[in-house]
């Protein structure tokens, strides 16, 4: 297995497109699987369309589903931080994508993104792992 860890700053964006980094990581690999994993209790990884408003729609939807208020038992950090700990139940902490001839097999409009609504921790690690097929 081959791995690489990305350091991602989410202080300015709630959705960060990782697609080009994943493509670069997979570029010299044969056929196999690429796993993208975020080892944080308050972030996730998704495959969505970006740039056409879908990324903003995802953030808006998650913020409606997970309001930042005092309803959460997990209550440390900024107000509503408990919502951040529920996020990985809705947006998985990992995705796995097939790779063929060094290219992740994503659909035309698909991008791999980091989803991070947590305002308390803007530094994220993302682990890319490649397993030959």
What residue ranges define each of the domains in the chain, with the CATH number in brackets?
Answer: 2-132 (2.60.120.460)
CB 91 within 8 A of CB 112: no
The b/e string for 67-104 (b: 16+ C-beta within 10 A; e otherwise) is ebeeebeeeeeeebbbbbbebbeebebebebebeeeeb
| Per-position pLDDT tens, the chain of length 133 | 999 999 999 999 999 999 999 999 999 898 999 999 999 999 999 999 998 899 999 999 999 999 988 888 887 777 788 889 999 999 999 999 999 999 999 999 999 999 999 888 899 999 999 999 8
């Amino acid at each position: 297995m081959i791995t690489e860890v990305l350091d991602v700053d989410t202080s300015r964006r709630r959705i960060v497109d990782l697609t080009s980094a994943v493509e670069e990581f997979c570029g010299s690999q044969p056929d196999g699987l690429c796993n993208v994993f975020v080892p944080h209790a308050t972030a996730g990884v998704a495959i969505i369309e970006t740039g056409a408003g879908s990324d903003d729609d995802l953030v808006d939807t998650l913020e409606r589903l997970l309001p930042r208020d005092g309803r959460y038992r997990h209550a440390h950090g900024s107000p509503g931080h408990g919502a951040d700990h529920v996020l990985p139940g809705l947006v998985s902490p990992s995705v796995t994508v097939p790779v063929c001839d060094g290219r992740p097999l994503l659909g035309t409009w698909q991008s791999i993104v980091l989803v991070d609504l947590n305002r308390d921790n803007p530094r994220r690690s993302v682990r890319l792992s490649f397993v030959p097929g």
